[in-house]
Amino acid sequence: MSPHLNPFLLRGFPIDSEKLKDLLERLQVGDVSIDAALTELTQLPYEDLGFAKLDHHRELRRGFPEVVLGLGKTPEQIAIITKSLTDKSDRVLVTRATHEAFAMVRSSVPDAAFHEAAKAIVVDRRANPILTPGVLIVTAGTSDLPVADEAALTAHLMGCEVERVTDVGVAGVHRVLDQLPTLRKARVIIAVAGMEGALPSLVSGLVSAPIIAVPTSIGYGASFGGIAALLGMLSSCSPGVSVVNIDNGFGAGYMAGLINNGIQE
């Protein structure tokens, strides 16, 4: 099925007008199909802010707008980027954000919200979104919740209904086994764990759904800030486990969203 064209996506960008005119003329006379034209459009526009180039057609290509990493950016830069993105999209996500950045964003985007646990700025202008069930987030301990919250927020913005199972680390395996009915109805599972990172392998051995493993930086000295969990997850002997980077809840939530939205009933 062809992606849906948002009418705002063709306004105010540095598109080569001659190239666009040629594309539309070829479409009009039937020299190019609608699907082929959409493919060309996905490669055309971006907005040059000087310090950043915003890919406003990311949503057309991937089904979700460009996400902003707040880390390393000034509050002023984040505010400018967020305002530009909200002019073209109904959803914006800024990860690893600060209260200072949020205050600056709110001055130009009043409906922005700050999610304290995930440290994320969100603008969500969807009216009564229809959410696709199937994403389950499983966390080993309470200390892993901030990373899980980032994953849950991302998947939700991508149109997924998210369930959670918390504090079921392998120190008490019976806690995981008690959740088997919930685990086995999920279509994709995000398993978040620090320390030695054994939870994803354990969960994978109990279910048929793909597992997205998220190592966290939680643990004592020998965990090396999450490296031990990362290596353990990468070395899993259970098939069907993929691994994102340390504390990368956003990456896990995004991948889960792509998988869940791509699964047909």
Pick 132-262's CATH classification: 3.40.50.1970, 3.30.365.10, 3.40.50.10490, 3.40.50.1100. Answer: 3.40.50.1970
Q: Find the radius of gyration of the CA atoms of the chain.
A: 21
In contact, 145 and 190? CB cutoff 8 Å: no
% of the chain beyond a pLDDT of 70: 89
What's the confidence (pLDDT) of residue 48?
77
pLDDT in tens, 207-227: 999 999 999 999 898 889 999
Tokens of residue 102, six digits: 């949020």
The answer to which of 55-69, 120-134, 161-175 has the lowest mean pLDDT is 55-69
Phi, psi of 220 (to 5 degrees): -80, 180
Look over the chain and give the mean of its residue pLDDT values, rounded to a whole number: 87
Strands annotated E in the chain: 47-48, 53-54, 68-69, 91-95, 113-115, 120-124, 132-139, 160-165, 188-193, 211-215, 241-243
Task: Judge contact between 108 and 123, C-beta under 8 A.
Answer: no
**Three-state SS at 80:** helix
Q: What is the pLDDT of residues 88-137, one digit of tens each?
A: 888 999 999 999 999 999 999 999 999 999 999 999 998 888 899 999 99
Q: Which residues contact 204 (CB under 8 A, 6 or more apart)?
A: 191, 211, 236, 238, 239, 240, 241
- Per-domain boundaries in the chain: 9-45, 53-124, 132-262
List all residues 6 or more positions away from 62 whose beta carbon is below 8 Å from its beta carbon.
258
